[in-house]
Amino acid sequence: MSKYSMIENGAETNKIKKFFQKDFSQFIVFAIPMIFIGIFLLYPMAITLIRAFWAPAEYTFKFTGWSLEGFRTFFGTKLYLRALVNSIIVSLSVTILCILIGVPMGYCVARVKIPGKKLLVSLGILPIIMPSFVGAYTWVILLGNKGIVRTALNFILKPFGVTLPSIYGMFGMILCMTLTYYPFVFQMAYGAFSGANALLEESAMLMGAGKARIMRTITLPLIIPSLGAAALLVFVRAIGNFGIPAVIGGNNYVLPTLIKFAYGGAGDINLASSIAVINVIITGLVLYIQKYIVNRHEYETISASHTDIKQHESLGAKIFAIILCLIVLIFSLLPQLTIIVMSFFKRWTGLLPSDFTWTNYANIFKKSSHELFNSFFLSIVATIMCAIFGSILAYITERKRPKGSALLDLSIMAPFILPGTVVSIALLSAFGGNGLMKLTGTYLILIISYMIRRTPYVYRSVAANLTQLNPSLEEASTISGATWFYTFRRVSVPLILPSIISGSVMTLTTLLQELSTTILLYGPRTRTVPIQIFNAVNENDLGRASALSTVLLIVVFAIIYTMNSRKGTDLSSSMKM
Amino acid sequence: MSKNVRYENVNKIFGLGTKNEVHALKDISFTINEGELFCLLGPSGCGKTTLLRNTAGLDTITSGKMYYGDVDISTIPPYKRNIGMVFQSYALYPHMSIFENVAYGLRVRKVPNDVVTRKVTEVMELVGLQEELKRNPSPTALSGGQQQRVAIARALVYDPDVLLLDEPLANLDAKLRRYMRAEIRRIQKATNITTIFVTHDQEEAMAVGDRLAVLRKGVVEQIGTSDELYNQPKNAFVANFIGKMNFFNSHVVSTNKEETVVEIDTAGIRVAIKAEKRHVEPNVGDEVLIGGRPEYLAVSAESSENSIPGQVKIIQHLGSFIRYEVEINKSISPVTLEIDMDSLQKDIHEGDMVNVTFDTSRVALFSPEGREL
């Protein structure tokens, strides 16, 4: 052992010398986002957890004494328990339905020889980039008591003795969320089915396996990991969705609307915190189950060469594929069409809209210019910050791999999985009252909440890019004599720029339509367009809501379209988890 | 200006103090001379790449010292070491033109524009890419061999003290590889920059290097010229790694200052080996190995005195010679012998029983340790 201890002594003196010769630029760059995460993410989360065990509060943030009252109220009140059950039923149903729609559709587009595949894939991504609560109220128009789609469907279903349930309630929520979130599964399934190694299926065929057996034993098992990821994404989105239940939930509360009710209605931040904690536990549990299932099905790609996948060419398969895709696309894009039509009319109560008018648009400039400014200002500032922090954080976890980088990764990704209302409650708990600082009603708290929730887009997209980037590119720069910062600026950033851009586009487009976080944090000065749309819907001013929504749709679509026409940018990498 | 590179008791331990401690470099001490083209050779996992990365500063050694000339660079960060390095993957920047790739190190050094242009042009001429530089495409538009040249130019352009090449030819096809290794030698001799060339291919190392170091499990087994390593290998490992060596299990019968007499196990054949061919301190009764290169062995259909019987497994025509793979009694040699003959033996076919003889003046004596690669 004497030889070893000598070596260690040598290492000691080396360390001291190394410390003084180190290039400190990277530590300064790394410290800022880490401090941000500490103050605005970890601290609020901790405070929320503590508040969950405080006695009920009435419009106060002060300490009210320790108590389990919040949880007792939750589990002792029918309304609250009902909301929990509703949340679970809705999220699970939506997840299962999304898989049932998304996987076959992904298979059809990937493996059946049909025209217009690229268009189908682009149309198939639209529902997630459009505000989901906007879609919800259009279903009220279409599937309401006298709605045109209800009338048509009831006519078709009449011979079977079936009538559609009311759009207000569980049926409506599940329908809207499924049509909004199936693209996650569809995009994933399309990617997995078209990217699969054809040789695996061909070798199974040569060994005598039939089509059904290949599907069951080779094709499907290989997509389980990505299917699991997509299913989780759908579940967390569904359980965290505020807009759809708020618009068409009727008397059926779910956890996000319940949190809003507890804080906004009863003014009890501590009760809201208790609900938030319960919500976090459920999401965590689902995440754990998903990881457990997926980990048992994680495979390394063994083959080196890839051949093109064979596609079904029979007429029957083509017709089936086209009909399936058309039905799904028409249903999921109907809301967007409805909004555009509605924005030119005063009302739409019967089968068709009535009273054509331009005033909806004229009113935007009169009544919404401040909200438009707010939306763009907040979204753009937050996106820029997300892009900077997200890429630095991805660089830290991917390249530097410090001790506890898994924990860092988890804390960055947590707000992505958690419902927006939970993040808002956490920020309110920490900065609502006379705590560290009072931020309620400011632009700052909205920007911070946006940053916390959306940094994962850039973070994930850049991290995925970095894993594919050979570290020797950066090493070559260091060898050439460049300091860390020079290398980061001239080599790393230009190479990860495409992923920064695609992550930022996702961030910007989703922030422009952000509702679930904003609804708890906005003040009179900081109202955004989605808030105004939400209020207009509640006041039944559908014309105004539609005109504003159409403006949002056009802006979001223009951003996505510009970005898709650029080469080398890929939206899907920022959606993965 | 070129400098020599000196290692003094260099140790590298990965995961020091953890369960998975790996002692990758063990007390490495040697010197690479100024302007020398030096090869680090060894099987995968021998520590050659670790030694190169530590020489570059991309990893830091656990203990010991490394010098460029008189300067202790053990703790100097890589960007202050003034070295050039060519990576196995070339690591060319896809977002820059080949000119900007090559100019990178000069830009870092804030060299004025006109000097950058002149230096890049010069170095591109040296590596034979002057035509490509005129079009100045992205490196992704170049062939593998051209990318390799850009990578070399990029490492040379700022006159580094030391040039490091990490398996630079591994991604090229066999023919291009042979051509490029001659090119690398030409370029190195033209610039006279001290160069360390890492490879696992002994043929490549012998063709390129002025001197070679053979590494095994983090230890330098032998350093010398290609000729020294081939003709005077210090042990069975080096003998079998630099070219092929056939071994016969033997034991020492008698030994004195001039020669050692050994007897091949079971066969009962006695061989006298001169002192200068002994690479082990023999004692009477010791287990030893007699080693003979394929060209010093012969096969024949007829039996003769001191021949070992065996069966021909495979006959390979390899151009200038014919290789016979012969299986003999497993207790003498557990692996098949490789025997190279100048011409095809008309009376010997695959599957035939033959007799193996060897030139007793050309065989050497080794310790049994390290016979397996």
Determine the pLDDT at residue B182: 92
Residues of B in contact with A18 (CB under 8 A): 60, 75
Specify the amino acid at residue B135: R
Q: Characterize the bridge pairing of strands B22-32 and B5-14.
A: antiparallel
Token pair 């068409």 is at which residue? A248
CA A422 – CA B147 distance, rounded (Å): 53
Contact A235, A418 (CB under 8 A): no
Q: In this complex, is the C-beta atom of A1 within 8 Å of any C-beta atom belonging to chain B?
A: no
Could you count the other beta carbons within 10 Å of the beta carbon of residue A532?
Answer: 21
Contact A79, A253 (CB under 8 A): yes
CA distance A26 to chain B (A): 14
Determine the pLDDT at residue A228: 85
Could you count the other beta carbons within 10 Å of the beta carbon of residue A352?
Answer: 9
What's the pTM? Answer: 0.78
Determine the pLDDT at residue A356: 77
Residue A43 CA: distances (Å) to CA of A434, B213, B336:
15, 57, 70
B273 φ, ψ (degrees, to nearest 5):
-115, 130
Can you list the positions of beta strands (E) in A247-376?
345-347, 354-356
Are A481 and B58 in contact (CB < 8 Å)? no
Angle at the Cα of B324 from the Cα atoms of B322 and B325, rounded to 5 degrees:
145
Residues 6+ apart with CB under 8 A from B186: none
Are B16 and A491 in contact (CB < 8 Å)? no
CA B155 – CA B157 distance, rounded (Å): 6
CA A519 – CA A547 distance, rounded (Å): 20
Residue A94 CA: distances (Å) to CA of A57, A88, A108, A181, A477:
35, 10, 21, 8, 49
* Of residues B220, B271, B217, the one with CA closest to residue B248: B271
Contact A407, A473 (CB under 8 A): no
Structure tokens at A559: 């951003």
The H or E element that residue B199 is part of is: strand B194-199
* Residue of B60, B75, B78 lying closest to A478 (CB–CB): B78
* Residue of B75, B93, B109 lying closest to A21 (CB–CB): B75
* Of residues B143, B215, B223, the one with CA closest to residue B180: B143
* pLDDT string in tens for chain A (577-residue length): 344 444 444 455 555 555 555 566 677 777 888 888 888 888 888 888 888 888 777 767 777 778 888 888 888 888 888 999 999 999 999 999 999 999 999 999 888 888 888 788 877 877 876 777 778 888 888 887 777 787 788 778 777 777 777 788 888 899 999 998 999 899 888 888 887 777 777 777 777 777 778 888 878 888 888 888 888 889 988 998 888 998 888 788 898 888 888 887 777 888 888 888 888 888 888 888 888 877 776 665 554 445 567 778 788 888 889 999 999 988 888 888 888 888 888 777 777 777 777 888 888 878 888 889 999 999 999 999 999 999 988 888 888 777 777 778 888 888 887 888 888 888 888 887 655 567 777 888 899 999 998 898 899 889 888 888 888 899 999 999 898 889 988 999 998 998 898 889 889 988 988 888 888 888 888 899 999 888 888 888 888 888 888 888 888 888 877 776 665 445 554 554 4
Determine the pLDDT at residue B356: 92
CA A112 – CA B185 distance, rounded (Å): 55
**Mutation for B interface: A479, A484, A492, A500, most B CBs within 10 A:** A479
Domains of chain B: 5-236 (3.40.50.300), 237-366 (2.40.50.140)
How would you class A400 by CB atoms within 10 Å of its CB: exposed for 0-12, middle for 13-18, buried for 19 or more? exposed
CA distance B11 to chain A (A): 8
* Of residues A142, A171, A149, A156, the one with CA closest to residue A249: A171
**Mutation for A interface: B95, B148, B157, B164, most A CBs within 10 A:** B95
Contact A339, A551 (CB under 8 A): no
Determine the pLDDT at residue B274: 87
CA distance B371 to chain A (A): 29
Specify the amino acid at residue A494: P
Reported ipTM: the value is 0.79
Q: In this complex, is the C-beta atom of A399 within 8 Å of any C-beta atom belonging to chain B?
A: no
Determine the pLDDT at residue A4: 43
Determine the pLDDT at residue A437: 64
Residues of B in contact with A399 (CB under 8 A): none
Cα dihedral sign, A145-A148-A151-A157: negative
CA A183 – CA A189 distance, rounded (Å): 9
Determine the pLDDT at residue A1: 37
Contact A481, A490 (CB under 8 A): no
List average pLDDT for each run of 10 residues in chain B, which is 373 residues long.
88 85 92 94 90 90 92 88 90 90 91 94 92 90 90 92 91 87 92 94 92 94 93 90 90 89 86 85 87 91 86 91 92 90 89 90 86 65
B198 φ, ψ (degrees, to nearest 5):
-100, 130
Q: Dump pLDDT digits (tens) for A413-436.
A: 888 878 888 888 888 888 876 555
Q: In this complex, is the C-beta atom of A2 within 8 Å of any C-beta atom belonging to chain B?
A: no
Domains of chain A: 24-52+361-577 (1.10.3720.10), 80-301+316-340 (1.10.3720.10)
